[in-house]
Structure 1
Amino acid sequence: MLAKPKILLSWLVLLLSSVNLFLSSWIILPAPNMFLLTLAVGAPEVSPWLLLLNLLFLLLSFFYIRRRKIQRLVCIFSLIGLLICGWMLVNIPSTQMQMAKAMKQGLGANYLEQIPIQVSAKMQTDPFNLVNFFWGIPLGKIRHQKDILFASPAGFPLKMEVYQPPEVGKYPAVVVIYGGSWQYGNPHANSEFNQYIANHGYTVFAIDYRHAPKYQFPSQLDDVRVALNFIRKNAAAYEADPERMVLLGRSAGAHLAMLAAYQTDAPPIRAVVNYYGPVDLTEGYKTPPIPDPIHSRAVLKAFLGGSLKELPNQYQIASPINYITHPLPPTLLIYGSRDNLVEARFGRQMYERLHDSGNTAVFLEIPWAEHAFDAVFNGVSNQLALYYTERFLAWALFKQ
């Protein structure tokens, strides 16, 4: 009587182990389309869970499954999954060491000593913490305001969200610009990050901008510049210090952050943080990634209004890499080696240009990370990125 349930359970274990292997495989496989891109983004970030599941199925294959063929398959699937997840996890310490070295090379060996003790005491103590991975990174209390209208270009309402520390005071400003191929998104994106940063002593302004293809470049840049002027004008109302401001963006938002900060008439900006942002739109059009899940050339056409052949000057003007002609704010660049939307080579080129021109820059590369890796806030890659981002912010805004 018990044979049939055991057989059914054995088949179920085989099915689940194959699904888990499928998910684990996206830690190393490039995604050919948007659906699979979601898996490729998420799989590395939840790899400890995938590793535990692979281990569970392996143990079940030894101690529970009696059918040799099923046992062998479950064992093979689980071992392959374990190897994939294990490869990634064992590389965390070496990646952390490389990132620590890059920070010291870019900011100086003693950059941490320039951060006040009361600021550094609030920061994450470890680049990666398993407790935070399983239970979540504590966000803390904040004050939060939504739907703050800052401009209405051509009647289009642009709003921002403001995240403030729990106590009344005067704090450095972090202006956050969301990504989304310049075509979608809203200021509420990555709200966990904004809450975390605000709780650690910053006023965070998450701003909006008009979207392509209805509104094409430079509309988005104009909106960011208007937002910066609004923030500076109204800084006191939001307990922000307009002379201590950092721009932080993700993907398309990082592109806009760099462009806004690198203009010769930009307001005083202490630093820029670029999470996997496009920096050279001309070269990005010429050599799109393979595979290309978002159809990069179509995205660029929608943003700029035409192809590279039709609008070569627009591609030049819209590329931050072409603005390294004068002293620029310190720049932190964070990219994933497996990014198939904005390849890490562009971030590396940007870093080299900044460094060679005498500007302060740091380039951090996460070997297993895909585009938008920080969508999983407590994930492996975001913990590493957050650890060094908050140190960079503290160095730029609090250094003595």
Structure 2
Amino acid sequence: MKPEPAPAEPGRLRTGLGRAALALSALSAVALVAAAALVLLPPPSYDVWQLALLVLEFALVPAGVALAGTALAVLALRWTTWRRTSTVVAGLNAVALVAALVPPVALWNTARHHDVSLSLPDYVAGLAVDTDRAPETVRYATVDGEDLMLDVWRPGKPGTGEPLPVVINVHGGAEDYPQSMFPRWDTWLADQGYVVFDIDYRFFPHGDWQAAPGDVKCAVSWVRRHAKDYGADPDRIALMGQSAGGLLTLLASYSTDEQIPSSCPEHRESTDVQAAIAWYTATDATEAAVLPWRLRHSAEIGPDLEQQQERMTGAVAGTEQARRLNRALSPITYVDAQAPPTLLIQAGHDVFVSPEDIRAFADRLERAGVTHRVLSLPWTEHMFDLNWGGFASQITREVLARFLAERL
């Protein structure tokens, strides 16, 4: 009969665990440094930018990793003889912990400033791409042989029978993105007591930049004509959009029909709206615009956006024709005292839109006497509303609800 092996010596076992803890802590430090680089440096591609968006929106996750990495390094400091290495690794994790807490703490302070209560359980409520019901999809126009569609989202519970105010949402993204890109926002707005029309449009056909805002105006007139069919009030309409949709929102709501005509002039209903909401959108397409430095130094995104702008206008960058058309494509060109009350939602760490752009636009609104409000969300990235439960989305929902209640 073989004798049983002797138990491992406590010292050797502890040393082994200490080395394992140090290895895990080092891996944590490397991963956190990489995450910080994603957030702080110019993204070389759209895919890398999307990773940076997720890192920022779920910053409490790397904060938890950094806390665990720090604790493991402290154990390694006590249980191994590699004290210098353990100290360095512990320091890296501790610095990463502080850095990872900067975005949520900044947003917590923003929430306090706007008297908004944040929910930690809601932080893990998932993304905004799914919802619990389906919309009614309707064709609102056919332009140049292309059917333009919209989704109608109504409250989940029966109302009082009184006509409800309207929110027309204009999605961002690109030409292959359909309406109702983030349907969870649509259903939330509907359940707040609004009839929501989430519209599609022609995404800037080559050389015809007026097509897209013209489609938005067409949708506004269609909604005004058919509002009563959906239990909605045609005299209480807010136009809202994200990114490119925000640009179109401002162009459509600030310009006259002579400046930018509707795509369906046969509709006689007014294209005026009672409020405009633009999320993380550029307002100045001219050479005077200040571009974020991360955009200027991105190998893929910067050149791609330049090509998109040339496609919109059909003019070669740098020519007098391009300068003239870029002015016409800039919402800041159309600011006057007749503009509707406006809410600007600014992502503070936006790779596409600089804070200076929004500040200059807000200053122009102030000088023109336009009622407006700016919601600035520090350390948030373009398309932050993808994260339904994120602190930035929680703040935005409350501020947006107040603005709509005041204006409609």
Give the TM-score normalised by the residue count of structure 1.
0.83
2:96 to 81, 96, 103: 81
Q: Paired residue for 1:123?
A: none
Task: Provide Cα deviations, 1:174-210, integer angstroms capped at 9, x if missing partner.
Answer: 1111112x54422121211111111111111110011
Matched, 1:320 2:335: no
Q: Paired residue for 1:144?
A: 134
1:361 to 349, 360, 372: 372
Matches within 5 A, 1:1-400: 10-63=22-75, 66-67=79-80, 68=82, 71-99=86-114, 126-135=116-125, 144-169=134-159, 170-180=163-173, 183-214=175-206, 216-265=208-257, 267-283=271-287, 287-292=290-295, 293=298, 294-295=301-302, 296-306=305-315, 307-309=317-319, 310-397=321-408
Q: In 1, Cα distance between the equivalents of 2:46 and 2:63?
A: 25
Residues 178 and 50 (structure 1), Cα distance of their counterparts in 2 relative to 1, 3 Å cut:
same
| Counterpart amino acid of residue 280 in structure 1 | D
Q: In 2, Cα distance between the equivalents of 1:376 and 1:215?
A: 34
Residues 134 and 141 (structure 1), Cα distance of their counterparts in 2 relative to 1, 3 Å cut:
closer
After the TM superposition, which of the residue ranges 339-348 and 22-31 deviates more from structure 2?
22-31
Q: In 2, Cα distance between the equivalents of 1:140 and 1:184?
A: 18
Q: Which has the larger radius of gyration?
A: 2
Task: Provide Cα deviations, 1:102-138, integer angstroms capped at 9, x if missing partner.
Answer: xxxxxxxxxxxxxxxxxxxxxxxx3422121134599
Q: In 1, Cα distance between the equivalents of 2:69 and 2:171?
A: 39
* Offset of residue 216 of structure 1: 3.1
Q: In 2, Cα distance between the equivalents of 1:137 and 1:249?
A: 18
Q: In 1, Cα distance between the equivalents of 2:144 and 2:128?
A: 41
Residues 253 and 268 (structure 1), Cα distance of their counterparts in 2 relative to 1, 3 Å cut:
same
The alignment covers a number of residue pairs equal to 370
Q: Paired residue for 2:266?
A: none
Residues 215 and 270 (structure 1), Cα distance of their counterparts in 2 relative to 1, 3 Å cut:
same
Q: In 2, Cα distance between the equivalents of 1:135 and 1:143?
A: 17
* Offset of residue 4 of structure 1: 7.1
SS at match of 2:233: strand
Residues 262 and 308 (structure 1), Cα distance of their counterparts in 2 relative to 1, 3 Å cut:
farther
CA contact (8 A) 2:281 2:353 kept: yes
Task: Provide Cα deviations, 1:87-112, integer angstroms capped at 9, x if missing partner.
Answer: 23332343235556xxxxxxxxxxxx
SS at match of 1:166: coil
Residues 141 and 29 (structure 1), Cα distance of their counterparts in 2 relative to 1, 3 Å cut:
closer
Residues 39 and 99 (structure 1), Cα distance of their counterparts in 2 relative to 1, 3 Å cut:
farther
* Offset of residue 244 of structure 1: 0.8
Percent of residue pairs bearing the same amino acid type: 26
Residues 139 and 393 (structure 1), Cα distance of their counterparts in 2 relative to 1, 3 Å cut:
farther
Give the TM-score normalised by the residue count of structure 2.
0.82
Q: In 2, Cα distance between the equivalents of 1:142 and 1:287?
A: 41
SS at match of 2:278: strand
SS at match of 1:340: coil
Q: In 1, Cα distance between the equivalents of 2:282 and 2:216?
A: 17
Residues 197 and 173 (structure 1), Cα distance of their counterparts in 2 relative to 1, 3 Å cut:
same
| Counterpart amino acid of residue 325 in structure 2 | Q
SS at match of 2:397: helix
| Counterpart amino acid of residue 290 in structure 1 | W
Q: In 1, Cα distance between the equivalents of 2:91 and 2:192?
A: 46
Q: In 2, Cα distance between the equivalents of 1:139 and 1:40?
A: 19
Q: Which runs of 5+ in 1 are unaligned?
A: 101-125
Q: Paired residue for 1:111?
A: none
| Counterpart amino acid of residue 122 in structure 2 | N
* Offset of residue 164 of structure 1: 0.8
* Offset of residue 344 of structure 1: 1.6
CA contact (8 A) 1:337 1:370 kept: yes
| Counterpart amino acid of residue 178 in structure 1 | H
Q: Paired residue for 1:122?
A: none
Residues 192 and 138 (structure 1), Cα distance of their counterparts in 2 relative to 1, 3 Å cut:
closer
Q: In 1, Cα distance between the equivalents of 2:216 and 2:147?
A: 13
Q: In 2, Cα distance between the equivalents of 1:141 and 1:38?
A: 22
* Offset of residue 143 of structure 1: 5.8
